[in-house]
Amino acid sequence: MIIEEIGRGSTVDEAKEDAILKLGIGEDEEFEFDIISMPKKKTLGLFGGKDAEVKVWITRPDPKGEKKQKQKADHKKENKKEKNAPSKKESKKEENKQENAVPAESLTEENRSYKAVQYLNTVLPLLGCENVEMQVAEGEDGAAIFLSGDGLGIVIGHRGETLDALQHLVSLAARTKAGYYKITLNIGDYRERREDALVSLAKRIAAGVLKTGRGKALEPMNPYERRIIHTTIQEIEGVTSASLGEGENRRVVIVVEGDDVRNVRFDRRRSGDRGRNGRRPRRAAAPKITTPTREPKSDSDVPLYGKIK
């Protein structure tokens, strides 16, 4: 099965990384790419200009084959983790494994995730998702719901933004008198692929920073994705990372240890202050300065002849 995405960026490398993240390509996966268009600089730094476009595609096995490969990879990871005590994050993943999940139809009102499932049963058909199957793995502080079916691509959205938004709403729907109950939504193994792609991205950017000595600012990300980048960078000697910006424009900056992250320039053309058509809003025209009009002098005001001496 071949899947492809088109990435955009101020350089060819940034466009390629954008497509890689969209596809969720892991560090060990092989992919191919083709440059659709090269970037164009703005005239006089103000007019025109165009981002680079790169098409990336990858061949992946059918879902059944993927599941077998994933199980083999999980066994390898478990053997490596035997030497080290599992962290809280790893323990939570163990609780929410899809292998331990049960069909959503088997839940009752006594289950804390029951309301979450009912909410999804109402919302998903409205999004055009039919014949969706749900598996639920409950834990003490939260539950994971695994979705499979037709038309679920719309639920993921651009870089998982729609999936994250729906996940937040589902968690609110599952809230009871016992308090907040976090629900994690996953479609196939999208989140695992996304995490692998972010780890791979962090390593590639770190290698580039170490090679050139120049810091790099990544695209704006949500807190969960920024945390993955920071965790990966902490394990790489010679580089450090920090988050800069506010709200939706907050992003990770990677620099050589000892350098000031505030010296890294952002690509302002791709920030969130654009209009609906993807362009920057036009500046309001400066008000015209006009001089007050004066009434012209009438002929009677001017003497016909000069003074006769």
Long-range contacts of 115-124 (CB under 8 A, 24+ apart): 115/173, 115/174, 115/176, 116/143, 116/145, 116/170, 116/171, 116/173, 116/174, 116/181, 116/183, 117/145, 118/173, 119/169, 119/170, 119/173, 119/174, 120/145, 120/147, 120/170, 123/166, 123/169, 124/155
- Evaluate whether residue 41 is within a structural domain: no
Handedness of CA 13, 15, 18, 23 (dihedral sign): negative
Name the least confident of 99-103, 148-152, 165-169, 303-307: 303-307
Single-letter code of the amino acid located at 83: K
Identify which has the larger pLDDT, 190 or 303.
190
Q: Please answer whether residues 118 and 111 qualify as being in contact, where contact means their C-beta atoms are separated by less than 8 angstroms.
A: no
Indicate left, alpha or beta for 4 from its phi (over 0: left) and psi (-120 to 50: alpha).
beta
Residue 159: pLDDT over 80: no
Range of the domain at 155: 96-188
Helix (H) or strand (E) holding 225: helix 223-234
Residue 280 pLDDT: 46
Residue 134, token pair as written in the block: 């749900």
Q: Is 281 exposed, middle or buried (0-12, 13-18, 19+ CB in 10 A)?
A: exposed
- Whether residues 197 and 264 share a domain: the answer is yes
Q: How many domains does the chain have?
A: 2
Residue 293 pLDDT: 52
| CATH code of 182's domain | 3.30.300.20
Q: In sequence order, what DSSP letters do the residues of 6-45 get, joined into one string?
A: EEEESSHHHHHHHHHHHHT--TT---EEEEEE--BPPBTT
Sheet bearing 251-256, strands edge to edge? 216-217, 251-256, 239-244
pTM: 0.57
- Evaluate whether residue 10 is within a structural domain: no
Distance (Å, rounded) from C-alpha 288 to C-alpha 12?
42
Distance (Å, rounded) from C-alpha 47 to C-alpha 45?
6
Q: Quick one: angle between helices 223-234 and 190-212, nearest 10?
A: 50
CB atoms within 10 A of CB 22: 20
Q: What pLDDT, in 10s, does the model give residues 223-281?
A: 888 999 999 999 999 999 999 888 878 889 999 998 888 888 775 544 444 444 444 44
- Evaluate whether residue 170 is within a structural domain: yes
Identify which has the larger pLDDT, 28 or 188.
188
- Whether residues 253 and 199 share a domain: the answer is yes
Residue 79 pLDDT: 38
- Evaluate whether residue 298 is within a structural domain: no
Last residue of a domain, one of 188, 212, 237: 188
Q: What is the mean pLDDT of the chain?
A: 76
∠ CA 52-58-59 to the nearest 5 degrees? 160
Distance (Å, rounded) from C-alpha 214 to C-alpha 80?
35
Distance (Å, rounded) from C-alpha 195 to C-alpha 279?
30
Q: What pLDDT, in 10s, does the model give residues 48-92?
A: 678 888 888 887 765 544 444 554 455 444 434 333 333 344 444
- Evaluate whether residue 152 is within a structural domain: yes
∠ CA 42-45-50 to the nearest 5 degrees? 20
- Whether residues 197 and 182 share a domain: the answer is no
Helix (H) or strand (E) holding 132: none
Last residue of a domain, one of 135, 155, 188: 188
Q: Please answer whether residues 194 and 160 qualify as being in contact, where contact means their C-beta atoms are separated by less than 8 angstroms.
A: yes
- Whether residues 200 and 184 share a domain: the answer is no
CB atoms within 10 A of CB 67: 14
- Whether residues 178 and 245 share a domain: the answer is no
| CATH code of 196's domain | 3.30.1370.50
Distance (Å, rounded) from C-alpha 171 to C-alpha 307?
96
